[in-house]
Amino acid sequence: MNQRSFGDIGAHGLMELQAEALYAHDSKGSLLTINEPGGGPAPRMFLGRTIQGTTVCRFRHDVPDDLVRRLEALCAEDGRGDLRSTPRHFDSYMYLLDAQVYTMGPAYLVPVDLADERPVASNPVTVTRQNAELLAGDFDWLIPEVDDAQPCIAAVSDGRAVSVCRSVRIASRAHEAGLETLPEFRGQGYAAAVVAGWAEAVRRADRIPLYSTFWDNHSSRRVAQKLGLACYGTDFVIV
């Protein structure tokens, strides 16, 4: 992906926006909590590696300062290499943080000019408190949260939502997408339709639409590929 696709902000700037959207920070830039209503503690380490070969790292507020300095030095050396593979200093990160659990996956910008292959689903609708009955049934769990998940865009079949894309992490400059599609409606264009509609709504609010997933989430990555989302890097997280 040509870096000009990211505009003036660049891949590194987008990775910084992602960190800002995913987690609440304190005044020193340390991670506090997951940036969503009722979000629990932030992970101990976030490392974003960009296609520009740069890194963005953040650490939870309770990681000791001397350990943070050691980890930051390692992160600075981890910008190069295959973004699909674990970072060069993976073993050191896991050892120093006495960790066993990590996640990793690609991070995308939803561009203005989506792929020419348009989603085949019917036009998605915006879901608010006023029409939240569309979520009844399979998306009951989302109804109490709908006010905090705007914009929330749904594809509807037979009067009920079958795929929903909403803002799950919201910051001053960017929104992070959350996508859910009922199993029996996957592979039919519904997910791509709601992601496209969500991104348009986010841009109308003068914010940047971001979409991230895990490498082993093949259905989510197929949506990204279908829409031609622009991958700007990979995030690596130690809980």
Q: Evaluate the omega torsion of the peptide bond into residue 106 and state whether it is cis, within 30 degrees of 0.
A: no
How many angstroms separate the CA atoms of 167 and 150, rounded? 6
What is the pLDDT averaged over residues 21-49? 97
Mean pLDDT, the chain, whole residue set: 94
Where are the alpha helices (H) located in 101-217, listed in sequence order? 190-204
Residue 66 has pLDDT above 60, yes or no: yes
Q: Which helix (H) or strand (E) holds 65?
A: helix 65-76
What's the predicted TM-score (pTM) here?
0.94
Q: How confident is the model at residue 3 (pLDDT cuts 50, 70, 90)?
A: very low
Q: What is the pLDDT of residue 116?
A: 56
| Cβ pair 46, 19 in contact under 8 A | yes
Residue 120 pLDDT = 56
For 169, the token pair is 């992490």
Contact (Cβ atoms closer than 8 angstroms) between residue 24 and residue 51: no
Could you report the per-residue pLDDT of 158-200, keeping only the tens digit for each? 999 999 999 999 999 999 999 999 999 999 999 999 999 999 9
* Residue 73 CB contacts under 8 Å (≥ 6 apart), including other chains: none
Compute the distance between CA of residue 163 and CA of residue 179 in angstroms, rounded to an integer: 7
Q: What is the mean pLDDT of residues 206-235?
A: 96
pLDDT tens for residues 93-139? 999 999 999 999 999 999 998 875 555 556 799 999 999 999 999 99
Buried-state track 128-141, b at ≥16 Cβ within 10 A, e below 16: eeeebebbeeebee
Residue 204: is its pLDDT beyond 60? Answer: yes
Separation of alpha carbons 177 and 193, rounded Å: 13
* Strand, helix or coil for residue 97: coil
How much is the pLDDT for 2? 42
pLDDT at 4: 44
User: How many residues are present in the chain?
Assistant: 239
pLDDT value at 227 more than 50? yes
